[in-house]
Amino acid sequence: MIETKLISCPYCGEEFDTTIDTSAGDQSYIEDCYVCCQPIEFSIQVDANGELANIECRSGNE
């Protein structure tokens, strides 16, 4: 299942939509901010029903 979530960039604070494929289960990946182009680390947790349980976004230097 594909979900769209509004997140805030940990660098510049701008909000933008990102898409998450919950069928892939728990995952971690890096996606660049669409505004400032800094790398954002995403940590995604999916529950037993395949639904998004938690999303964390942090800068690469945290």
Note down the domain range covering 41: 2-59
Residue 40 DSSP SS3: strand
- Asked if the model's pLDDT at residue 44 lies above 80, the reply is yes
Angle among Cα 50, 51, 55 to the nearest 5 degrees reads: 120
Q: Rounded to the nearest 5°, which phi and psi values hold at 25?
A: 75, -160
Which pLDDT value is given to residue 60?
Answer: 73
pTM above 0.85, yes or no: no
pLDDT, the chain, mean: 92
* Mean predicted confidence (pLDDT) in 14-42: 93
Single out the residue of 50, 58, 57, 62 nearest to residue 26, CA to CA: 50
- Cβ pair 42, 55 in contact under 8 A: yes
Domains held by the chain: number: 1
